[in-house]
Structure formats: C-alpha cells, structure tokens
Structure 1
C-alpha cells in the first residue's frame, strides 16, 4: 500500500469517478459520509454504543462497542428492547447528501450501504427500476433465511423480482426502513459469521453483480474485525483493484494489513474534499 499512497489523489479520484460513471465500480458506503453533516442519529459505531450507554448501564467490555452493547441488552432486556432502542436511535430521518443523490442518478448495478439510517434508499426514491436487499437477524422470526428483498415502495418481493432491477441496493447490516431489520448484536453476527465463508448469507444477486467489479470505500473504517470480515466477504470474486478514501496516518496496523491483502489503494484526501471533487 505504501507505493499506492504516493500516487496522486486527484488521479486516483479521476479513476474512481470514471469507474462509477461507467458502472464498473461499486460504492461501499459507511456512516462517515453522513457524519460530515450534523445529524440527530448516531453516525458511527462508537456513537451508537454511546446511545446504548445513555439508555442503560453497560459493563466495561461493552462500552464503545455497539455489538457487545446490543448483546448485553438482548441478554438482560430481551430482543424487543434492542429493536425498540435501535428504532429510537434512528427515528429522525437522515436526509440523503448530494453525494447519495449523485450516486442514485448513475443507475449503478450495485450499491452497498453499511449503515442503518437509510439515506441511500431515500436518495433512490426519486429514481425508478431499483430494488433493495437487506441482511436480517434470524432471532425470533422463525424463518431460515438471511435477507429480505424490497421494491421501491418498501413492499417485500422475491429474489427473482429484485434481480430484474437495474440498480440493487445492498444493506448487509439491515436498515431502519422499511421494516426496521437490524443485524446488531453479537448473537446476530455469530450466526452470519459461521456461514459467511461459504457465502450463504450473501445474496446470490449480489454475488452475481459484484463479479469483476472494483469497490470504492467511502466513509468507512475497518478498525474492527467484524467490519473487515464483512467487507472481505462482500468483495469476494470481485476485481483485485479497489480504492478507499482515508488518511493513511490514522490507519491501525490491522487496517493496513487488510488494505494490502485486498488490493485496496488509499486515496489520501479528506473525505469531504474527495466527495466535493467527485461531484464536480
């Protein structure tokens, strides 16, 4: 990665813009994009953990970790409380940014949104011919499936209907809309991670659309093993050439190793500046 960092950020951003406009690149969005503007909803994993801590006293091991915090709440106050508090955390609608709206207008084959607030779905609401697939918890639903498909109106559809859509929005961790599906507790992820290596929890249509594509990571951090594992599996069988907008000086050793392993080129530029340049 060290040599890649030396490449001009502007040249790399031009490559990203061309890839997005040409439909050969998959945007992989994290909460950092929305965190650039003031929001009522928590727009980082640590902020969500702080929200849980404002609702109940958490043990030391769960502080600052939303997945452990949700597991503690689920164990002592039941799953309904986790869902209720997640709905409360994301009750205030988060409007899509100009960047979300720009992406929505590109008619991309696949967009990945890894946060719960629903901005990308809101941006796509002004477009036609798109569908969404969300990761879901299997806690208490009595169903042997890992995800649900929705149309533009938020109505549940089947995989064949979703496959016909020009754009597929993939929200692997769930979303506040349309039905408040959340993968959040450790138990949720234990189930997924037991099978994610064989790709069962990854929708087949996502697997098809990612093939040979490059990914660009925006507003994402990979300082937690869970986040790295998910990204690694979503990227499987895609291109070997990807990008991330990040300050290399902020990367942990594990993040650096992850970027190297996955062929992810770091674009050394503040996120807000990078997004502004992509839009111009």
Structure 2
C-alpha cells in the first residue's frame, strides 16, 4: 500500500466531510489558524511551558513526555495536572475552520491536542458529546470518560449526532491528560487490542474515512494512535501536509494508504470556509 500526493484539493474531500462519510482528525497545528494569543500549539512549545514552571534536567527538557514524567515523579501528579491546566487556561478563539467543521454532521471528530477550541466551536449545538482518554494513574481501570454537551460527566456512552473523541484528554471539562511517559505506556500496552478506544468510536469508524488537519506523524506517539484509531475504518484517508514528509512520515502514509494533500492548512481553510472555490 502506498500513498498518493496531490497538489489540489479534491472535491471528494469536502463532499465527504459535508456528507458525514469523512471524519475530521485534528492535531495541534490547527491552533495556528487562530488569531491572537494561543496556548502551546506543539509538543516543544508545551515542554517549554511546563519546564518554566518546574525545573527539569536539561537532557529531557525538550522531550515533552519525559519532562512530564519527571514532574510527576518528583513533584507529584497533581503538580503536573495543575501545570497543564495553567498552560491551557488561555482559550483560543475558534478559527473559521474550527467553526466550519463544528457545523458539519460528522458522526465522529478526533482531536489529539489538549486545548478546548473544538469544544468551544461546538458550543452552539446540543446534539454532541465528548469522550476523553483517562490517565491510569488517576483512573485506574477506566480508560475513557464521557461528557455531554454541557460538560457534565456521564456514566455511560452518549449516542449523540457528533462524538468528539479526545484520546489524549483535554483541559475542559475535567482536566484529563495523557501527557507523561507512564500515561502513554499504559495505553500503548493495550491499544493493539483496542481496549482504550471507546466502543462507540470503533462502531462509527467502520463507515468512515479520516481527514488529518494540523497533524504531523514525525513522532512515534501520533503514529501509534492514528494507526489504531484508523484500524478497521472504511477509508479513504487524506492528510493536509504541506511540508515534505520525513522518512518515517512517508512510511506511515504508505502503510495507511493516506493521500497527502500538499497544500498549506490556511489555504485549505480558506477554500472550505467559502473564500475560494473548491477544485473539481
């Protein structure tokens, strides 16, 4: 299986998103579309924020999950959660693309960053729910938490029109974070057999392809999660990736059969939100 690179925006992508047969899969890069001051928008930036709050050895200062593990080990989990909450207390105003995506009838939206921008964009609707990954250090034996559109915790899965799935957690509504090495080791130990992935997400993906927006695959963690979330999904899959892929990214795109859309994210956003015509 190999990937294809295209330099125009296929109409089939926007049509699939509008029809609810393609699901948005969002990464931290989406924050670059937001105006004004934004919270940390990539792992190095977040590592920088955390390590200004707690002193961390220089050799791991730029390695986000290792730095978070050091803080958890030597300053307690509560210190790490508090630092994450402070890092994302500043909410970015949703961009036009966030708002456009939030208005779609998507059965599933995957959001792999800690900010609450997508949740804000969905706030005008009542027919959505959120499911977040939970840290085993805080919720041992429980892999996910469900929340309704008002942010109230729900004991059972919510059969909403749109389900927002945040596999790494997020600041709102409850400050759940997968962030340290141990958080991810616990999940990755089980993810091959799909245990940490909500059953409702597994059911819905069976009829869906995914469109990656603001994502990079140049690290093992985003590749591992994307690989398992896409497992047994219908396809096709697309990734807006303007920069030339690294060797590992290219291998991942090949493995998953993802079509690379070699266009800047802001240009794609302008086309989809109505400023430019969509290519045929």
- Would you say same fold, with TM above 0.5? yes
Deviation at 1:101, TM superposition (A): 1.1
2:265 match: 271
Give the C-alpha shift of residue 8 in structure 1: 4.3
Residue 31 of structure 1, CA deviation: 1.2
Distance (whole Å) between structure 1 residues aligned to residue 194 and residue 70 of structure 2: 28
Contact 1:35 1:44 in 2 (8 A): no
Structure 2 counterpart of 1:151: 148
1:167 aligned onto 2:162:
yes
* Per-residue deviation, 1:235: 0.6
What is the TM-score when the length of structure 1 is the normalising length? Answer: 0.93
CA drift at 1:279: 1.4
Q: Distance in 2 between matches of 1:159 and 1:263?
A: 34
Q: Are residue 185 (structure 1) and residue 180 (structure 2) matched?
A: yes
Alignment partners' CA distance in 1, 2:233 and 2:3: 22
Report how far residue 45 of structure 1 moved: 1.0
Distance 1:196 1:244 in 2: 22
Runs of 4+ in 1 over 6 A off after TM superposition: none
- Could you tell me which of 32, 39, 43 is aligned with 2:29? 32
Residue-by-residue CA offset, 1:109-151 (whole Å, 9 max, x unaligned): 000111111111111110121110000112134x421000000
- How far residue 158 of structure 1 moved from its aligned partner, in angstroms, is 2.9
CA contact (8 A) 1:61 1:68 kept: no
Q: Which runs of 5+ in 1 are unaligned?
A: none
Is the alpha carbon distance of 1:140 and 1:253 closer, same or farther for their aligned partners in structure 2, counting shifts above 3 Å? same
Cα 1:9/1:87, change in 2 over 3 Å: same
Partner of 2:56: 58
Q: Which residue of 1 aligns with 2:108?
A: 110
Residue in 2 that maps onto 1:176: 171
Distance 1:78 1:261, change over 3 A: same
Corresponding residue for residue 253 of structure 1: 247
Unaligned runs of 5+ in 2: 275-280
Per-residue deviation at 1:102?
1.1
Deviations 1:47-92 (A, max 9, x none): 1011122223322442222111100111111101100100110111
Task: Report which of the two has the higher share of helix.
Answer: 1
Q: Decide whether the 8 Å contact of 1:211 with 1:237 is kept in 2.
A: yes
1:200 paired residue number: 195
Aligned counterparts of 2:60 and 2:179: Cα–Cα separation in 1: 13
Stretch moving more, 211-220 or 37-46: 37-46
**Contact 2:31-2:38 at 8 Å conserved across structures:** no
Alpha-carbon distance in structure 2 between the residues aligned to 1:140 and 1:24: 35
Q: Please say if 1:9 is aligned against 2:8.
A: yes
Counterpart contact for 2:7–2:263, Cα < 8 Å: no
Distance 2:110 2:234 in 1: 16
Counterpart Cα distance in 1 of 2:252 and 2:85:
32
Query: What RMSD in Å do the two structures reach over aligned CA positions?
Result: 1.6
How far residue 240 of structure 1 moved from its aligned partner, in angstroms, is 4.2
- What corresponds to 1:221 in structure 2? 216
